[in-house]
Structure 1
Amino acid sequence: MAEQTDSRLSGRRVVLAGATSTAGLAVARALHGAGAHVIATGRSADRLQELADAGAEVVVADATSLAEMTALASRSGAVDAVIPLVGGWRGGGGLAGQSDEDFAALLPALESVRATSRAFDAALRASEAGRFAIVSSTAVARPLAGGANYAAVKAASEAWARAVAQGYAKAAREAGVPLRTASVVLRAKALDPQALATRILSLWDADAADLNDRVFDLE
């Protein structure tokens, strides 16, 4: 993706939690190219190096840990977006094949959504255009027996993100101020890193009130 500073994104501070994946790298490159300051986290310093080479500030931290995400939030100051990118898929074998081990391996995706939204709640609500976005799956709308573990974790993550959206709306309403922060769900059938990056860049094209509690399918 060609680098071209974007006035909507220039100077914005974006946390990509659990970003050591192809998708994380694509999003980091797109955001950095548009002029955003990217803070990318991962558990391996070696795997973070490619993100550092792409212009991101990298931090060794576990996106599933509330304590580590809270510590990062306290050090990071102002933040305009948080995007947990912990993912992965395990499944198959019909309903009988939905093992406890596979379910446990998938849970970090939900845990990262919970930890990051809680740790950065105050910072995102303080932003003039805060965004919290999760990556989900079209499997939530049509779960299959062979992917029941996966669909269940993604559905729980969506429910949490929608609760985050309600919290943002309630806080703005009680303070008597316009809604400035939005929580959105991005669903993909087969995740295309570039499509994800493009959609994340567009999160500042609309007002928070038009985005909050919305589900968007990635093309």
Structure 2
Amino acid sequence: MSDLNSLTVLVAGATSTSGEVMARALTGAGARVVAVGRSDDKLAALREAVPGTVTFTADLASEDDVASLTERVHAEVGPIDALVHLVGGWRGGGGLAGQSEADYRFLENSFTALRFVSRAFDADLQASSRGRVAVVSSTALKRPLAGGANYAAVKAATEAWTRALAHGFTKAARDEGRDLSGAAVIYRVKGLDGLEESLADAVVTAFAGDAADVNDQIIDLTGSQA
């Protein structure tokens, strides 16, 4: 079992099946899990399913909600060491003509949440001796299709932001004349159904391992590394 003892991991968008699997894997490896979602009922079910999970309700696409969340987490839990971003969703089809603005704005919430949460907790992640960020992206970026243009565009932005986080870890280590301690990694999937365990295992391994081995990596969980 990978050792994540002493790590506090915030799981954003934790009320899905993948969120429960992730929380269970992280807890089993010794981490303290802080789970965030929009549904009180689903968070209560998560606490029951994964004892020890600390939960907070927030709309992560709201900058004000994220600011309040940061204050509450710091007051009740303390600084975090790592972030797992599971906020997502899918809308598509209909070629380019079918790519509605409403659908784009729905999908954009995932990227907006990543920007808000990673900025709000950036000082925590940089200060941690094992700062980590894990983000779920899509194999659709290998060959974007007209019917998934909105989705692919949002995932491309998500990957660019995450790679910038990776650069931030590298720059901080270089400027301070120390070994790299933080890492941001991207996992590409075609869909999470059936891959929840694989994703959770990969994240636990990345969080427990050497930062230099995973920082700025794009890992395809369907088989290859990009």
Deviation of residue 200 (structure 1)? Answer: 1.0
CA distance in 2, matches of 1:113, 1:17: 9
Cα distance in 1 between the residues matched to 2:7 and 2:168: 22
CA distance in 2, matches of 1:200, 1:7: 10
Matches of 1:152 and 1:216, distance apart in 2:
19
Matches within 5 A, 1:92-107: 92-107=93-108
1:205 CA displacement: 4.3
Q: How do residues 66-145 of structure 1 correspond to structure 2 at under 5 angstroms?
A: 66-74=63-71, 75=74, 76-145=77-146
Counterpart code for 2:6: G
Over the matched positions of the two proteins, sequence identity in percent amounts to 52
CA contact (8 A) 2:2 2:204 kept: no
TM-score, with length taken from structure 2: 0.90
Q: Which residue of structure 1 aligns with residue 47 of structure 2? A: 52
How far, CA to CA, are the matches of 1:181 and 1:72 in structure 2? 23
Spell out, residue by residue over 1:156-181, the C-alpha distance to the aligned partner (whole angstroms, 9 max, x if none): 00000011111111111111121100
Matched with 1:208 is 211
Q: Distance in 2 between matches of 1:208 and 1:73?
A: 25
Superposition RMSD in Å: 1.4
8 A Cα contact 1:64 1:115, kept in partner: yes
CA contact (8 A) 2:38 2:57 kept: yes
Q: How many residues align?
A: 214
Q: Give me the TM-score of the superposition, normalised by structure 1.
A: 0.92
* 153-162 vs 188-197, greater mean Cα deviation: 188-197
The unaligned stretches of length 5 or more in structure 2 are none
- Given residue 206 of structure 1, which amino acid in structure 2 is its aligned partner? G
More displaced, 56-65 or 85-94? 56-65
Query: Equivalent residue for 1:3?
Result: none
